[in-house]
Structure 1
Amino acid sequence: MADRRLQVFHTVARLLSFTKAAESLHMTQPAVTFQIRQLEEYFNTRLFDRTHNRISLTEAGEKVYAYSERILSLYREMDNEIRTLTGEIIGVLVIGASTTVAEYLLPKLLGEFQALFPKVKLRLKVSNSMGVVHMIENNDIDVGLVESPVSNKSLVVEVCWSDELALIVPVDHELASKDTVHISELAKYPFVSREEGSGTRCVVSDYLDDNGMSMADLDLSLEFG
């Protein structure tokens, strides 16, 4: 119902990239360019300056962007109010999830959600925890599920569940026979870790910090993710 040209413009202006906007909107880049051109023709002025493969908002573009923020926000508010009033839940829900959450927790939950709300179309974007937080900050997704603590105080954060990490070693490893292992003992052995930005990596790093150590104290033989 909201003007598609305004939606496309708002996304391009927010990301300052036709390519990224096309990916976010699931459109081709020529289609995005066409929508922007139509809006510029409607206002009879340029909304973007294009120089050296980069774009920036013109003065008119800045004003349109400010109004588009308010217009699209009001549209979403109106849509939600009417849907709530009529009891109809419909639309698109874009979810971002860290790798572990997406692989092990979401399949069952998304199936149950679809059974309850068949008219809601789900889209899932997978990244590490830091990537999911960035997607939320850039309004690329509606909700994000991550494993690590979120430091951005402007975001609403809810704890959904808790999990535990376990140390894994080969059966013939000398640590395998121990009931407990002190964190300092890990520095003696090659260690396999997730990449920076991963929730698992963040939790391990925080645990090391709490015990007077850091990732630099470990012998990182393999980093993956």
Structure 2
Amino acid sequence: MADRRLQVFFTVAKLLSFTKAAETLHMTQPAVTFQVRQLEEYFNTRLFDRTHNRISLTKAGTLVYGYADKIFEQYTEMENMVREMIGEISGSLTIGASTTIAEYMLPSLLGDFRKKYEDVVIHLKV
């Protein structure tokens, strides 16, 4: 739902690599470059300094990255709230527990949780 150009930019900025971002996003590297260039054209400024096969964020890029992070955080919160409101809970839950608790207390608790929230993937770290 969020602007694809912003998602692509955010991934490139996080990884500081167009190639790694392309792999992560399952896109070609030229497509990633195109999306970032479109965002740069939209803002009429460069978001990355590109020098000798290295990239870094410009001052504007750092600003956009900070806002993008907040936008995606709020988007996730909104999505979770709507899903909760309509009774559709999904995602991933990671729980860390000692051996005793993992063996004796969590099986029944997680079993009940799993029945109620079938679309939640549970990861237990003992």
Answer yes or no: same fold by TM over 0.5.
Answer: yes
Give 1 or 2 for the bigger CA radius of gyration.
Answer: 1
Deviations along 1:184-213, whole A, 9 cap, x unmatched? Answer: xxxxxxxxxxxxxxxxxxxxxxxxxxxxxx
CA gap of 1:34–1:89, structure 2 versus 1, over 3 A, is farther
Once residues 36 and 27 of structure 1 are traced to their aligned partners in structure 2, the CA distance between those partners, rounded to angstroms, is: 13
Partner of 1:58: 58
What pairs up with 1:199-214 in 2 under 5 angstroms? none
Higher helix share: 2
TM-score normalised by the chain length of structure 1:
0.41
Once residues 14 and 24 of structure 2 are traced to their aligned partners in structure 1, the CA distance between those partners, rounded to angstroms, is: 11
Q: Give the 4+ runs in structure 1 shifted more than 2 A.
A: 88-91
Shift of 1:90: 6.2
Partner of 1:150: none
Shift of 1:23: 1.1
Aligned AA (1:3): D
Q: Does 1:71 align with 2:71?
A: yes
Partner of 2:42: 42
> Counterpart of 2:68 in 1: which secondary structure?
helix
Q: Give the CA RMSD over aligned residues.
A: 2.5
Shift of 1:89: 4.4
Aligned AA (2:80): N
Structure 2: 5+ residue stretches without partners: 93-117
Shift of 1:29: 1.1
Partner of 1:177: none
> Counterpart of 1:87 in 2: which secondary structure?
coil
> Counterpart of 1:27 in 2: which secondary structure?
coil
Deviations along 1:67-111, whole A, 9 cap, x unmatched? Answer: 1111110111111110111123468x7xxxxxxxxxxxxxxxxxx
Partner of 2:125: 159
Partner of 1:21: 21
| Greater RCO, 1 or 2 (C-alpha within 8 Å, sep 6+) | 2
Identity among equivalent pairs (%):
69
Aligned AA (1:159): K
> Counterpart of 1:50 in 2: which secondary structure?
strand
Once residues 28 and 89 of structure 1 are traced to their aligned partners in structure 2, the CA distance between those partners, rounded to angstroms, is: 33
Deviations along 1:19-54, whole A, 9 cap, x unmatched? Answer: 111111111111111110110010000000111011
Partner of 2:8: 8
CA gap of 1:64–1:88, structure 2 versus 1, over 3 A, is same
Once residues 83 and 24 of structure 2 are traced to their aligned partners in structure 1, the CA distance between those partners, rounded to angstroms, is: 25
> Counterpart of 2:12 in 1: which secondary structure?
helix
Once residues 74 and 81 of structure 2 are traced to their aligned partners in structure 1, the CA distance between those partners, rounded to angstroms, is: 10
Partner of 1:86: 86
